[in-house]
Amino acid sequence: MKKSILIASALLASVVSASAQKLVIKGSDTLGAKLVPQLAEEYKASHPGVSFEIAAEGSTTGITAIIDGTAQIGMSSRRAKATEISAATAKGVTMKPIIVCYDGIAVIVNEKSPLAGLNKRQVEQIFTGDVTDFSAVGGNPGAISVYTRNTSSGTYSDFKDLAMKKRDYAPSSQKMAGNEQIVAEVAKNPNGIGYVGLAYITAPGIKVLTVDGGLPNKESVLAKKYPYARPTFYYTNGEPTGEAAKFIEFTHSDAGQVIVTKVGFIPVK
Amino acid sequence: MATKSFKWLALLCGVSIGAASLAHAQDSGPLIDTLVKKGVLTDQEGEDLRVELLKDFGTSSAGKLNLSSALTELKFYGDARVRYEYRTGESGNTPVASALAAGSTNNTQERNRFRYRLRFGFNGKFHDGWFFGTRLETGVGSRSTNSTAGAVTAANGVTSKDNNTLFVGQVYIGRTVEDFTFTAGRMPNPFVTTPMVWDDDINPEGLVEQWQHESGNVTWKANLGQLLYEGSGTTNPIGTGISRQNTFLWVAQAGAKVKFNNGSAVQVMPTYYGYSGSATSMTKLGTTAAGTNSGILRPTGLSIIDIPAEYSFKLGGLPAKVWVDYAYNMDAEDRAAAAGRPTFDGEDTAYQLGVGVGAAKVKGDWEAKLYYQSVDAFALDSNLVDSDLFDSRTNMEGFVTSFSYVLSNGVTAKFTYANAKRKEQNLASYGAGDIATPNLDNYQLFQADLNVKF
């Protein structure tokens, strides 16, 4: 009888343990502020035993977490750098990129701005500080307030590569913790300009500028015609396994991609 | 599965070959983008390939370097040289004091030296036209980067490394803005010149502004320099100390290079050299009396117009050139007076006439040069003239010839011979040379060099 109780207890413990599995996901604010939490909520509905720990503090933190083994999934809105891949290899970690969805980095201004669009050269000039007054690019006279993401952000890095020829940001630019903070500042400041992922462009008080005549949308991003289009990623250590693999599979499923669309990103299929 | 593996293998090979080397693997992004755009790869396959290439790149030598992202270019360069040198000279005086003291009547000095040098530098570029450069080099003197083999000290024994210190030969920062370049620090000589005026080991210190503009076949050039000649520093000393001013060398050079349709070109670069201050920590100008002229001379009475000109052309399919460098010291009268020889105020002119054939660039190339040089006693700054060819002296005339042959790309053998004599027998051969006499006569130099450049 005692033996039976012990076996039953052990079985119960293993069931509880399995049903309380936690998935740690760290990284990009672009993905982690809206999309991944919504995917997680939906996933939990069909997998009640799974819990999530999501930390959206920038793509760099997501890639570092994979290298350090402190997360099963690293979110990143940029590609891993050569130095990061070398660091991973040195630790025996194999960086595996998995495309989550597509994004276009939108250039936003205050909704009251008369500006409708800029060309790529003007965008570069504004964000590097070569141009400091909106009158130089067809706007109302006024000192431009540039809002950027902080240095651990993948969007910060991608925008530098895609829009600024890898030049440094204007010394006067203000670094914000996330997309929502940039939106909030630009919505308050008639002379503000910033950039955000597609999931954040519907916020009140801002408007999206055309770049070289085009807006970031499904067609221009998928056709790679929008100059600041990019894929976004999950990173794992090698091929994903276990619950991480199931969650990634769910992200790519029709249900997952519906959420991707609902949030504002471009689905992979 | 087999098809997929083959596709991957082919792509990896293709991209690697296309990128020329693993070192270029991380530049394969545009190629992968094109393959994705053309549908050869899916987006996901493209991303996997990128990581694979970066991973391979990370295991290569280049991939292990971690450079500042602010750099847009970094270049390492340098050279190593071994040299045998023989130089000899006669004193125009009765035997020099040291020889007499030793009981010798010998009036000739010979030096056999085995020397070597190392120069190693790196320079880099940043965005917005900024750049920097550095170079470490052997040799403590401003006009030599040589270490002499065979150093012996009681403490360190034979073949000691007492001569082998590496010094900061160059360190400079600059910015290029369109046709203008501004440089500050200790830098490679930015002026168009010849060894008659500047020893090519000298790295001037100070500020330099350069302008270069191409217009059709003409390249216009202008170089300005504010060079620190002697930094004595304290100008307002506490207490009874002596107030001193820095000594500056001011250089203004402007001219043009004109290219002709037949491949020939002519360049003329008139230059002015002027000084403010007189480098008071340096030895004063001496008289012709033996033993009083062996030190460095102050730049007193120097206001020089210099006109280097060169005509380059093809000679039987080989590059060739003839050149002339003419210099005139407008303040020679003051310099002669400072030397205690005011009646020699006409010693004010220097010139060099030369011809060169060939260009030592790649394996099998050769280059030969011959030039004649005549330098009046008070025509030039003896602190700047070449230290080898006429033993750092003025008041010398003679010829120099050299022959270079490229043994292998980057490896060159060079032989140099110089023969000169004192011009004006009533004046010293001013300057601080290796031959221990102020009145140098019948000077000869032979150098055999093996040089490796990287």
- Which residues on chain B are in Cβ contact (under 8 Å) with A85? 51, 54-55, 58
% of chain B at pLDDT higher than 70: 88
Q: Please check the confidence at residue B294 and state whether its pLDDT lies above 60.
A: no
Given B33, B63, B70, which is nearest A82 (Cβ)? B63
Rounded Cα gap, residues B378 and B393, in angstroms: 11
Distance from CA of A165 to the nearest CA of B (A): 10
pLDDT-based confidence at B428, cuts 50/70/90? confident
Rounded Cα gap, residues A138 and A53, in angstroms: 46
Residue B16 region, left (φ>0) first, then alpha (ψ -120 to 50), else beta? Answer: alpha
Inter-chain contact A95–B51, Cβ cutoff 8 Å? yes
Residues of chain A with pLDDT under 50: 1, 6, 9-19
First to last CA, chain A: 56
**Residue of B43, B45, B64, B67 to mutate for A, most A C-beta atoms under 10 A:** B43
Chain A segment 79-108 residues within 8 A of B by beta carbon are 79-80, 82-83, 85-86, 89, 94-99
B44 touches chain A (CB under 8 A): yes
Q: pLDDT averaged over chain A?
A: 91
User: Concatenated DSSP letters for B141-167?
Assistant: STT---EES---BTTTBTT-STT--EE
ipTM: 0.80
What is the predicted pLDDT for the residue at B293?
A: 52
Chain A segment 163-182 residues within 8 A of B by beta carbon are 166-168
What is the predicted pLDDT for the residue at B296?
A: 59
**Residue of B52, B54, B66, B130 to mutate for A, most A C-beta atoms under 10 A:** B54
Distance from CA of B51 to the nearest CA of A (A): 7
Given B37, B54, B64, which is nearest A85 (Cβ)? B54
User: Concatenated DSSP letters for B54-76?
Assistant: HHHHHHSTGGG----TTEEEEEE
Nearest CA in chain B to A95: B51
A-B contacts (CB, under 8 Å): 47
B22 touches chain A (CB under 8 A): no
Q: Give mean pLDDT, residues B2-13.
A: 50
A223 touches chain B (CB under 8 A): no
Q: Give mean pLDDT, residues B352-362.
A: 96
Rounded Cα gap, residues A44 and A24, in angstroms: 14
Given B47, B55, B69, which is nearest A99 (Cβ)? B47
- Which residues on chain B are in Cβ contact (under 8 Å) with A224? 33, 37
Position A51: which residue type? S
Query: What are B440's strand-pairing partners?
Result: B91
Rounded Cα gap, residues B52 and B25, in angstroms: 10
Q: Please check the confidence at residue B9 and state whether its pLDDT lies above 90.
A: no
The 10s digit of each residue's pLDDT in B81-105 is: 999 999 999 987 655 555 556 666 6
Distance from CA of A10 to the nearest CA of B (A): 42
Inter-chain contact A231–B48, Cβ cutoff 8 Å? no
Rounded Cα gap, residues B125 and B104, in angstroms: 59
Rounded Cα gap, residues A73 and A232, in angstroms: 13
B37 touches chain A (CB under 8 A): yes
Given B47, B63, B66, which is nearest A231 (Cβ)? B47
Residue B289 region, left (φ>0) first, then alpha (ψ -120 to 50), else beta? Answer: beta
- Which residues on chain A are in Cβ contact (under 8 Å) with B56? none
Q: Please check the confidence at residue B8 and state whether its pLDDT lies above 70.
A: no
What is the predicted pLDDT for the residue at B65?
A: 77
What is the predicted pLDDT for the residue at B33?
A: 84
Rounded Cα gap, residues A35 and A52, in angstroms: 14
Inter-chain contact B51–A268, Cβ cutoff 8 Å? no
Ranked by mean pLDDT, which of B16-30, B36-50, B300-314 comes out on top? B300-314
Residue B78 region, left (φ>0) first, then alpha (ψ -120 to 50), else beta? Answer: left
Chain B segment 53-112 residues within 8 A of A by beta carbon are 54-55, 57-59, 63-64, 66, 69-70
- Which residues on chain A are in Cβ contact (under 8 Å) with B50? 79, 97
Element (H, E) at A146: strand A145-149
% of chain B at pLDDT higher than 90: 61
Inter-chain contact B43–A80, Cβ cutoff 8 Å? no
Produce one character per residue of B357-390: b if its CB has 16 or more CB atoms within 10 Å, e if not. ebbbeeeebebbbebebbbbbbbbbbbbbbbbbb
Nearest CA in chain A to B29: A79
Nearest CA in chain A to B69: A166
Whether the CB-CB separation of A266 and A101 falls below 8 Å is answered with: yes
Distance from CA of A90 to the nearest CA of B (A): 9
Nearest CA in chain B to A164: B127
Nearest CA in chain A to B54: A82
What is the predicted pLDDT for the residue at B237?
A: 74
- Which residues on chain B are in Cβ contact (under 8 Å) with A79? 47, 50
Q: pLDDT averaged over chain B?
A: 87
What is the predicted pLDDT for the residue at B295?
A: 52
What is the predicted pLDDT for the residue at B97?
A: 56
